[in-house]
């Protein structure tokens, strides 16, 4: 068993009323707050076109994805992605946008299961079920008493997690489909059926993951300096290797592509020490501006 290192911070395993975030919810919610409307208004149900519980879920997911802050004000990331005039991809037509949302969800840590799943649990379980995840949290709680949780709540949160990444192939309607917003990036695999059903998030090449998103994640990480070892990029908390489930070959390909495309970025290998070097640290959003043609 790997070392359990979940941070001693407040963890949240509820807030979504068991609703996975659907494809158009974030855009609807962004437009709603841009009109300076409150989620507590009685008209929210009508304006957003969803049930009352779904209004709360939309608000929760907007915070979890870093679209709005704790005061329901759009964040820089939310504005850059969803603004009608200047947004990168308001209707999430480019798969890069889904990778960015996945990154924000895991890195932000507001919805704790996503950070725990990618940064911790996945290191010790190649295949997993709801019960193995619950067992992991029980063991963690023994050495980290601050991690308080209700097992029924965890079970519901696990189901939402699975549905966020698991596609609904039977429904072709994007808005009505129960497919989670992140189902298209292919991070989650299902093995077996019924009682034998297990899940897997396997490290691989991630050919659909743009190099620009990986570089954004590197530049957005305040813990990185101007020289970053390959091991750090592969293994540390919220690193691209961990968040995007990249194997070493896939990470190397992304890093080498990044270095070849930017004159101020080099990838060196001296005496077996592989390192990404940033001569002049770029603004993370300048990378996305270029990618999206803004």
Q: Please state which of the ranges 15-19, 58-62, 165-169, 178-182 shows the lowest mean pLDDT.
A: 165-169
Measured between alpha carbons, how far is residue 170 from residues 167, 190, 257 in Å?
9, 16, 37
Lowest mean pLDDT among 21-30, 153-162, 169-178: 169-178
* pLDDT over threshold 70, residue 10: no
Q: At what angle do helices 25-34 and 52-64 cross, to 10 degrees?
A: 90
> In this structure, are 224 and 149 located in the same domain?
no
| Residue 20 placed within a domain | no
Give, in order, the Cα–Cα distances in Å from 47 to each of 37, 44, 121, 137, 175.
10, 5, 39, 39, 16
Question: 238 lies in a domain?
Answer: yes
The pLDDT of residue 270 = 83
Which domain range does residue 185 map to?
25-201
Q: How confident is the model at residue 172 (pLDDT cuts 50, 70, 90)?
A: very low
CATH number, residue 288 = 1.10.10
Q: What is the mean pLDDT of residues 161-170?
A: 77
| One domain for residues 222 and 164 | no
The count of structural domains within the chain is 2
Note whether residue 77 is domain-resident: yes
Does residue 138 sit in the same domain as residue 68?
A: yes
Interval 200-224: pLDDT, tens: 999 999 999 999 999 999 999 999 9
Calpha distance 14→154 (Å, rounded): 8
156 and 280 fall within a common domain: no
Is there a single domain that holds both residue 175 and residue 271?
no
Hey, which of 52-61, 74-83, 188-197 has the most confident mean pLDDT?
74-83
Note whether residue 132 is domain-resident. yes
Q: What is the mean pLDDT of residues 81-87?
A: 96
1-5, 44-48, 227-231, 247-251: least confident range: 1-5
Q: Do residues 245 and 135 both lie within one domain? A: no
Same-domain status, 239 and 141: no
Between 151 and 271, where is the model more confident? Answer: 151
Q: Is residue 277 part of a domain?
A: yes
How much is the average pLDDT of 108-125? 91
- The whole-angstrom separation of Cα 244 and Cα 113 is 16
Q: Evaluate whether 100 touches 214 at the Cβ level (below 8 Å).
A: no
Q: What is the rounded average pLDDT of the residues 234-243?
A: 97
Calculate what percentage of the chain has a pLDDT beyond 70: 91
Question: CA-to-CA distance for 258 and 54, rounded, in angstroms?
Answer: 40
Q: Are residues 262 and 159 in the same domain?
A: no
- Report yes or no on 9 lying in a domain: no
Beta strands in 119-254 (DSSP E): 127-128, 189-191, 198-200, 227-229
Cβ contact 252:138 at 8 Å: no
81 and 37 within one domain? yes
Does the structure show a pLDDT above 70 at 150?
A: yes
Does residue 107 register a pLDDT over 60? yes
Shared domain for 32 and 163, answered yes or no, is: yes
Identify whether 10 is part of a domain.
Answer: no
In the predicted structure, residue 243 carries a pLDDT above the cut 60: yes
Report if residue 5 sits inside a domain.
no
Determine the pLDDT at residue 179. 67
User: What average pLDDT does this structure show over 273-278?
Assistant: 93
Instruction: Kindly report the pTM of this predicted structure.
Output: 0.91
The predicted-structure confidence for 246-263, as pLDDT tens digits, reads as follows 999 999 999 999 999 999
> Which of 168, 193, 142 lies closest to 4, judged by CA?
142
Q: How far apart are CA 281 and CA 193, in angstroms?
A: 48
Out of 181, 201, 221, pick the residue that ends a domain: 201
Asked whether the beta carbons of 98 and 106 are under 8 A apart, the reply is: no
* pLDDT confidence of residue 3: 41
Q: What is the pLDDT of residue 257?
A: 96
Query: Which of 156, 173, 201 represents a domain boundary (last residue)?
Result: 201
Tell which wins on pLDDT, 196 or 68: 68
**Which residues are bridge partners to 276 per DSSP?**
228, 267
Q: Are 142 and 288 found together in one domain?
A: no
pLDDT band at 64 (very low <50, low <70, confident <90, very high): very high
Which runs of E-coded beta strand occur in the chain? 127-128, 189-191, 198-200, 227-229, 265-270, 273-278
Query: Is there a single domain that holds both residue 196 and residue 53?
Result: yes
Inform me whether the pLDDT recorded for 23 exceeds 80.
Answer: yes
Final residue before a domain boundary, out of 176, 201, 226: 201
């Amino acid at each position: 068993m790997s070392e359990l290192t979940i941070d001693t911070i407040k963890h949240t395993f509820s807030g979504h009323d068991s609703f996975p975030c659907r494809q158009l919810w974030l855009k609807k919610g962004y437009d709603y707050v841009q009109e300076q409307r409150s989620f507590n208004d009685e008209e929210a149900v009508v304006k957003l076109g969803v049930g009352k519980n779904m209004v709360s879920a939309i608000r929760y997911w907007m915070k979890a994805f870093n679209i709005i802050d704790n005061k329901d004000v759009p964040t820089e990331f939310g504005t850059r992605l969803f603004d009608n005039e200047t947004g990168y991809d308001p209707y999430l037509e480019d798969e890069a946008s889904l990778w960015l949302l996945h990154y924000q969800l895991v890195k932000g840590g507001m919805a704790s299961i996503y950070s725990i799943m990618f940064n911790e649990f996945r290191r010790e379980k190649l295949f997993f079920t709801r019960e193995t995840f619950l067992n992991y949290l029980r063991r963690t709680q023994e050495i980290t008493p601050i991690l308080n949780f209700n097992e029924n709540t965890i079970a519901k949160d696990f189901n939402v997690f699975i549905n966020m990444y698991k596609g609904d192939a039977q429904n072709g309607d994007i808005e009505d489909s129960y497919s989670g917003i992140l189902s298209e990036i292919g991070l989650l695999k299902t093995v077996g059926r019924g009682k034998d059903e297990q899940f897997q998030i396997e490290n691989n090449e991630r050919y659909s993951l743009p190099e620009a998103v990986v570089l954004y994640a590197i530049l957005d990480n305040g813990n990185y300096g101007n020289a970053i070892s390959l091991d750090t990029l592969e293994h540390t908390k919220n690193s691209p290797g961990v968040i995007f489930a990249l194997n070493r070959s896939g990470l190397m390909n992304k890093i080498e592509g990044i270095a070849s495309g930017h004159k101020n970025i080099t990838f060196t290998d001296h005496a077996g020490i592989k390192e990404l070097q940033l001569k002049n640290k770029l603004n993370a959003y300048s990378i996305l501006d270029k990618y999206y043609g803004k």
